[in-house]
């Protein structure tokens, strides 16, 4: 499903010069595999997810998702790939405030090939337990409910790989469990590969495979060494 | 959910700012449509008023426009007069001889055809004598033929009709030569009705009153022409008013009229004493009109003007440019409003950047998010444009009875003027131009850096 080889990402620094954030010799995931990725703040986890989603382009190296080499795709090609293959759950949910819960879920289908399927959008909301909130605006939903809508939206495009960036960090502990259950179970049911970034060992312990960014990223290791 | 729907949601989400920008565009478009409609009404009114069945106005040499304004619109300063013999040139020999016998004058006049008689054949020539007033209304001396021959209405086929009474007659035993007919607006504004007496003043509205009054025998139904605001008096009575007879020249050859000794009718002015201000002419065959016009203008005695041509000249020389300037100003209002659309959308780009990045993360292309912004600008344009258009028409429609009363032009709710349809593409183009700046900002929005996590 995912095959990263010799991936390097450098950022232009505000003061000039470049900062190398990622240097990943090798990182792989099988189809439908579920992986927890833990790492320090500022280590480059979000950057890695953006690269895998094709929202950032690599400085060098290869990112291959579902047998597509992202670094060789045009920007439009990556947009199409993202719509077809990736589901993304954000730490801050990022629901669009102008749209109802149901419409936010439909937005997850709008840009893909399949087009909008209103019944399936409603089923997804039902699956995250919010069928009765379909016509609420994000502002009218609790924090946990918002994240559940965001999960439904991420699943709406029928992704093959779900990227979740600390999805429970902004949710209260009680809701956190249900959000987590929802993500893990949904991916299992639909055979979706899952890469979840987290700070929390409690969350990571739910996964059979736990990777530390420091172990796969040479830069992080360097930081780590120089800090100690 | 298509891009248009997404744009519509964004439009609704920022309700206040959307409303205000739409409102300003609505006012701009409303003003433009209003100016266009007024333009249409004015030009139609002018042309319609000039379409009264005759095709030429003949009068003293001078400004053709002033001749038209006087004879067709009863406006402007009074002009000079023509000798009655000029009027007689439009008639064949027998009729001229009959005039000499009836009024008295040079017998030689009755011995030949009028110069222009051949051109008119089958049409008519109706004399007008202007110069007197009733209040602010013009008094028009003419013959009963005026009411029989002239036509009005959109197709210039409606004869005059009388709301009360009848047309004046050349002579009646009870009123002699002193009957008159009032236009509909004169009746409404002055309260003059059938049975009343109308006393004209000489020369101008404040002029000295003539001792002689005219009996009102008819009240015209509205025609939507300047005839609504005129008082028509019998030309023969008009001549008999004090100061209206032209002094006789010493060497004038005059044969007195042949009168039956039993005739009780008072004597009329003789031909050399008579004058007309202008003559309304319709050629029996319109193909003869240009030839006749040339011949009259080359005669050195008079001029012939085509009222519609004169009015079109006036429209294109004065009224047209004035309204064009107004149109330009209102179009600028639209551009300013479009600029407001630009500013308002652009200002909200900061809030939108995250939404755009999220949509990109969901697979939206750069072109899609660009179109969403352009569509929003388009929605403002279409809603504002349609509302402005409708409002302007509603405003004009609600003033419809006033406009019809003043100009005779009927306006329906959806009476569309010539260039009005251009407004829609213009506003759409404007909105797309206004939308381009924020749309480009949307196009350039970076996905990664605008997602908070
Ligand atoms: N657009 C950018 N330009 C320059 N530097 C950037 C940019 N985005 C991220 N960085 C830098 O890259 C590094 C990694 O950032 P990233 O957001 O990937 O960290 P993270 O591991 O997700 O941290 P956290 O756990 O706090 O979310 C940080 O040092 C950050 O300053
Ligand atoms: Mg992060």
Give the mutation target among A45, A204, A216 for probing the ligand 1 site: most ligand atoms within 8 A of CB.
A45
Q: Which of A19-33, B25-39, B218-232 has the highest mean pLDDT?
A: A19-33
Q: How far is the CA of B340 from the centre of ligand 2 (A)?
A: 38
- Cβ of A44 closer than 6 Å to ligand 1, yes or no, is yes
Q: Please give the pLDDT value at position B207.
A: 61
Going residue by residue through chain A (228 aa), what tens digit of pLDDT does each one get? 999 999 999 998 888 889 999 999 999 999 999 999 999 888 899 999 999 999 999 999 999 999 999 999 999 999 999 999 999 999 899 999 999 999 999 999 999 888 899 999 999 999 999 999 999 999 999 999 999 999 999 999 999 999 999 999 888 888 888 889 999 999 999 999 999 999 889 899 999 999 999 999 888 555 544 443
Q: How far is the CA of B453 from the centre of ligand 1 (A)?
A: 10
pLDDT of B426 above 80: yes
Q: Give the residue from chain B lying closest to A87, CA to CA.
A: B362
Nearest chain A CA: its distance from B439 CA (Å): 18
- Paired residues of B232 in beta bridges: B140, B181
pLDDT of B37 above 90: no
Q: Please give the pLDDT value at position B418.
A: 73
**Residue A136 φ then ψ, to 5°:** -85, 150
Is this prediction's ipTM beyond 0.90? yes
The ligand that comes nearest to the alpha carbon of residue A51 is: 1
Q: Please give the pLDDT value at position A224.
A: 47
Q: Please give the pLDDT value at position B312.
A: 83
Q: Which of A86-95, A216-225, B44-53, B406-415 has the highest mean pLDDT?
A: A86-95
Cβ within 8 Å, pair A90-B365? no
CB-based burial label for B230 (10 Å; 0-12, 13-18, 19+):
buried
Sketch the domain layout of chain A as residue ranges.
2-227
CA distance B236 to B256: 17
Contact A25, A218 (CB under 8 A): yes
- Cβ of A46 closer than 6 Å to ligand 1, yes or no, is yes
- Paired residues of B10 in beta bridges: none
Residue with CA nearest ligand 1 atom 17:
A46
pLDDT of B385 above 60: yes
Residues of B in contact with A107 (CB under 8 A): 1, 6, 359, 362
Which residue in A56, A98, A108 is closest to B448 by CB distance? Answer: A56
Cβ within 8 Å, pair A111-B362? yes
Q: Please give the pLDDT value at position A11.
A: 92
Q: Please give the pLDDT value at position B80.
A: 87
Cβ within 8 Å, pair B362-A108? yes
The rounded mean pLDDT for chain B is 87
- Paired residues of B172 in beta bridges: B176
- Cβ of A45 closer than 6 Å to ligand 1, yes or no, is yes
Nearest chain A CA: its distance from B22 CA (Å): 19
Which residue in A79, A88, A96 is closest to B365 by CB distance? Answer: A79
For residue A50, the ligand 1 atom closest to its alpha carbon is: 18
Q: How far is the CA of A156 from the centre of ligand 2 (A)?
A: 23
CA distance B180 to A28: 108
Q: How far is the CA of B54 from the centre of ligand 2 (A)?
A: 88
Average pLDDT over residues B172-195: 90
- Cβ of A56 closer than 6 Å to ligand 1, yes or no, is no
Cβ within 8 Å, pair A98-B9? yes
Cβ within 8 Å, pair B453-A166? yes
Residues 6+ apart with CB under 8 A from B120: B90, B91, B281, B282, B283, B284, B288, B292
Residues of A in contact with B361 (CB under 8 A): 53, 55, 82, 88, 94
- Cβ of A21 closer than 6 Å to ligand 1, yes or no, is yes
Task: Please report which confidence band the pLDDT of residue B46 belongs to, taking 50, 70 and 90 as the band edges.
Answer: confident
Q: How far is the CA of A42 from the centre of ligand 1 (A)?
A: 5
Task: Please report which confidence band the pLDDT of residue B230 belongs to, taking 50, 70 and 90 as the band edges.
Answer: very high
Q: Please give the pLDDT value at position B87.
A: 93
Residues of B in contact with A56 (CB under 8 A): 447-448
Which residue in A50, A88, A103 is closest to B1 by CB distance? Answer: A103
Is A55 near chain B, with CB under 8 Å? yes
Interface test with B, best of A50, A107, A166 (most B CBs within 10 A): A107
Q: Give the residue from chain A lying closest to B14, CA to CA.
A: A98
Q: Please give the pLDDT value at position B370.
A: 96
Give the mutation target among A17, A22, A42, A214 for probing the ligand 1 site: most ligand atoms within 8 A of CB.
A42
Cβ within 8 Å, pair B358-A116? no
For residue B302, give the nearest of B149, B150, B125 by alpha carbon: B125
Is A40 near chain B, with CB under 8 Å? no
Is A61 near chain B, with CB under 8 Å? no
Q: What is the pTM of this model?
A: 0.76
Cβ within 8 Å, pair A83-B447? no
The CATH classification number of A2-227 equals 3.40.50.300
Q: Please give the pLDDT value at position B407.
A: 67
pLDDT in tens, B74-98: 887 778 889 999 999 999 999 999 9
Percent of chain B whose predicted confidence (pLDDT) is above 90: 44
Other beta carbons within 10 angstroms of residue A202's beta carbon come to 13
- Cβ of A95 closer than 6 Å to ligand 1, yes or no, is no
Is A9 near chain B, with CB under 8 Å? no
Q: Give the residue from chain B lying closest to A77, CA to CA.
A: B365
For residue A45, the ligand 1 atom closest to its alpha carbon is: 21
Cβ pairs bridging A and B (under 8 Å): 84
Cβ within 8 Å, pair A110-B360? no
Sketch the domain layout of chain B as residue ranges.
3-46+314-452, 52-307
Task: Please report which confidence band the pLDDT of residue B391 belongs to, taking 50, 70 and 90 as the band edges.
Answer: very high
Question: Pairing state of beta strands B124-134 and B137-142?
Answer: antiparallel
SS3 for chain B is: CCHHHHHHHHHHHCHHHHHHHHHHHHHHHHHHHHHHHHHHHHHHHHHHHHCCCCCEEEECCCCHHHHHHHHCCCCCCCCCCEEHHHHHCCCCHHHHHHHHHHHCECHHHHHCCCCCHHHHCCCEEEEEEEEEEECCEEEEEECCHHHHHCEECCCCCEECCEEEECCCCCCECCCECCEEEECHHHHHHHCCCCCCEECCEECCCCCCECCCCEEEEEEECCCCCHHHHEEEEEHHHHHHCCCCCCCCCCCCCCECCCCCCCCCCCCCCCHHHCEECEEEEECCCHHHHHHHHHHHHHHCCCEEECHHHHHHHHHHHHHHHHHHHHHHHHHHHHHHHHHHHHHHHHHCHHHHHHHHHHHHHCCCCHHHHHHHHHHHHHHHHHHHHHHHHHHHHHHHHHCHHHHHHHHCCCCCCCCCCCCHHHHHHHHHHHHHHHHHHHHHHHHHCCCHHHCCC
pLDDT of B320 above 60: yes
Is A88 near chain B, with CB under 8 Å? yes
Nearest chain B CA: its distance from A218 CA (Å): 22
- Cβ of A99 closer than 6 Å to ligand 1, yes or no, is no
Q: Please give the pLDDT value at position B295.
A: 92
pLDDT of B209 above 70: no
């Amino acid at each position: 499903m995912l095959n990263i080889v010799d991936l390097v990402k450098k950022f232009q620094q505000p003061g000039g010069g470049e900062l190398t954030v990622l240097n990943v010799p090798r990182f792989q995931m099988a189809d439908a595999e579920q992986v927890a990725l833990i790492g320090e703040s500022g280590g480059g986890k979000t950057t890695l997810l953006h690269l895998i989603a094709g929202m950032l382009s690599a400085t060098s190296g290869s990112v291959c998702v579902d047998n597509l080499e992202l670094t060789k795709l045009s920007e439009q090609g990556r947009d199409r790939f993202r719509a077809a293959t990736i589901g993304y759950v954000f730490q801050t949910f990022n629901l669009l405030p102008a749209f109802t819960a149901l419409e936010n879920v439909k937005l997850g289908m709008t840009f893909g090939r399949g087009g909008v399927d209103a019944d399936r959008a409603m089923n997804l909301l039902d699956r995250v337990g919010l069928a009765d909130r379909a016509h609420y605006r994000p502002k009218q939903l609790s924090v946990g409910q918002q994240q559940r809508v965001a999960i439904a939206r991420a699943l709406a495009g029928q992704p093959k790989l779900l990227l979740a960036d600390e999805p429970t960090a902004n949710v209260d502990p009680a809701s956190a469990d249900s959000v987590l259950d929802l993500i893990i179970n949904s991916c299992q049911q639909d055979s979706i590969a899952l890469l979840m970034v987290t700070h929390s060992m409690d969350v990571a312990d739910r996964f059979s495979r736990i990777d530390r960014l420091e172990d796969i990223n040479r830069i992080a290791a360097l930081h780590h060494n120089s800090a100690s | 959910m298509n891009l248009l729907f997404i744009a519509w949601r964004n439009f609704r989400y920022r309700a206040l700012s959307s409303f205000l920008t739409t409102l300003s565009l609505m006012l701009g478009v409303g003003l433009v449509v209003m100016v266009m409609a007024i333009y249409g009404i004015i030009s139609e009114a002018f042309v319609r008023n000039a379409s009264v069945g005759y095709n030429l106005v003949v009068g003293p040499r001078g400004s053709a426009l002033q001749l038209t304004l006087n004879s067709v619109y009863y406006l402007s300063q009074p002009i000079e007069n023509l000798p009655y013999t000029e009027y007689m040139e439009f008639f064949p020999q027998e009729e001229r001889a009959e005039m000499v016998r009836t009024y008295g004058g040079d017998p030689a006049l009755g011995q030949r055809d009028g110069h222009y008689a051949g051109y008119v054949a089958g049409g008519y020539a109706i004399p007008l004598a202007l110069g007197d007033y009733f209040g602010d209304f013009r008094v028009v001396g003419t013959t009963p033929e005026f009411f029989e021959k002239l036509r009005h209405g959109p197709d210039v086929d409606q004869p005059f009709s009388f709301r009360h009474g009848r047309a004046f007659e050349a002579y009646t035993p009870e009123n002699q030569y002193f009957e008159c007919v009032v236009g509909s607006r004169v009746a409404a504004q002055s309260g003059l009705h059938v049975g009343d007496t109308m006393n004209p003043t000489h020369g101008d509205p404040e002029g000295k009153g003539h001792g002689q009054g005219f009996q009102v025998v008819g009240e015209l139904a509205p025609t939507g022409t300047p005839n609504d605001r005129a008082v028509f008096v019998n030309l023969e009575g008009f001549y008999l008013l004090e100061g209206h007879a032209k002094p006789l020249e010493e060497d004038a050859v005059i044969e007195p009229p042949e009168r039956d000794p039993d005739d009780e009718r008072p004597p009329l002015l003789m031909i050399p004493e008579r004058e007309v201000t202008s003559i309304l002419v319709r050629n029996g065959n319109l193909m003869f009109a240009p030839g006749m016009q040339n011949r009259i203008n080359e005669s050195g005695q008079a001029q012939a003007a085509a009222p519609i041509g004169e009015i079109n000249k006036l429209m294109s020389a004065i009224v047209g440019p004035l309204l064009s300037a107004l149109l330009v100003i209102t179009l600028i209002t639209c551009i300013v409003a479009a600029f407001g659309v630009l500013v308002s959308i652009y200002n909200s780009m900061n809030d939108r950047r995250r939404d755009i990045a999220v949509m990109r993360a969901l697979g939206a292309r750069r072109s899609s998010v660009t179109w969403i912004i352009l569509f929003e600008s388009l929605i403002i344009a279409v809603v504002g444009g349609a509302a402005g258009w409708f409002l302007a028409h509603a405003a004009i429609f609600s003033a419809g009875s006033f406009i019809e009363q003043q100009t005779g032009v009927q306006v329906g709710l959806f009476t569309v003027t010539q260039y009005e349809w251009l407004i829609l593409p213009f506003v759409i183009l404007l909105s797309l131009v206004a939308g381009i700046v924020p749309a480009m900002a949307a196009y350039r929005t970076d996905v990664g850096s605008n997602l908070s996590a």
